[in-house]
Structure 1
Amino acid sequence: MKHLFTPNTMSQSGEVYLLRELLDREEIACTIRNEHLSIASGELAPQECLPALWIMHDADYSRAAELVEGWRSSLHETRPQWVCPGCGESIEGQFSSCWKCGRQSDE
């Protein structure tokens, strides 16, 4: 069993569950440790109370690490601002449809 991922803060702990689902879809056996340890925060150092994602079979680790890295890097990608072809409204890149007329981006 190998450690794969621990979030930096408790507010990011939801990422562990999203990543577990990603790995489950790829049939990579994994488990979450420290899942219920947040109740001990204050008695233990906060970093020790964060949920951690572990890979059950060492042979799956490199593939799992690639999937996690790809998922995490996609969170930081930003698309450029675009102009709605339907109404000409300027839309921020993170949106895929126009807030004004509802038309989808052509990209």
Structure 2
Amino acid sequence: MRTMCWGKSLPSLCRSQANDRVCQDWRFPFSEGACRGKLMKHIYTHDNIVVLHSVKNILALNDIESFVKNEQTAPVGAQHGIGNTFHELWIINDQEYAEAKALIAREIDNPPAKAKWVCDNCHEENEGSFEICWQCQSPSIQLKQEI
């Protein structure tokens, strides 16, 4: 698990020897006594920025602040190493790590399965992920109730 402090001065990060922590004011290596800010923790990595922002939105809906690191690295590609192009999500307050990890596990890694449904119009069976019948494009009963 990687951690870093949330500072407000420079956009570049000053890494420690362990390459897993960053100091608060971005100039000095991390030390337990020197850290005066909120300790951030790395929580999620993905190569697709859209997926990463979906996770960020799920956390935001649950009042967990997060920070996207390496957001603009996709254009660099393999010339700088493939490991440097992955987008990372860090939570701002490390005290919320367990809650955030549980949310990600529940919503992203193991989404609840939706039951199949039968269209009222054409009587075709549809997968639970469909809100509109694939055969006749009629909305599901659940979607009709939401509208």
Amino acid in structure 1 at the alignment position of 2:131: S
1:83: Cα distance to partner?
A: 2.8
**RMSD between superposed Cα atoms in Å:** 2.3
- Aligned position for 2:132: 97
- After TM superposition, which residue ranges in structure 1, 4 or more long, deviate above 3 angstroms? 77-82
1: CA distance between counterparts of 2:50 and 2:137? Answer: 33
Find out whether 1:5 has 2:44 as its counterpart.
yes
1: CA distance between counterparts of 2:53 and 2:95? Answer: 21
Task: Please report the TM-score for the alignment, with normalisation by the length of structure 2.
Answer: 0.58
- Aligned position for 1:57: 93
Percent of aligned pairs sharing the same letter:
25
Indicate if the aligned counterparts of 2:41 and 2:94 stay in contact, CA closer than 8 A.
yes
Amino acid in structure 1 at the alignment position of 2:45: T
* Higher relative contact order (CA closer than 8 Å, sequence separation 6+): 1
Indicate if the aligned counterparts of 2:43 and 2:101 stay in contact, CA closer than 8 A.
yes
User: CA-to-partner distance for each residue in 1:6-53, whole Å, 9 max, x for gaps?
Assistant: 01xx3x331111111121222212101111122322222223211100
- Aligned position for 1:36: 72
Find out whether 1:88 has 2:123 as its counterpart.
yes
Q: Residue 71 of structure 1 is aligned with which of 107, 112, 123?
A: 107
Indicate if the aligned counterparts of 1:32 and 1:53 stay in contact, CA closer than 8 A.
yes
Indicate if the aligned counterparts of 2:43 and 2:91 stay in contact, CA closer than 8 A.
yes
Runs of 5+ unmatched residues, structure 2: 1-39, 143-147
2: CA distance between counterparts of 1:27 and 1:84? Answer: 37
Runs of 5+ unmatched residues, structure 1: none
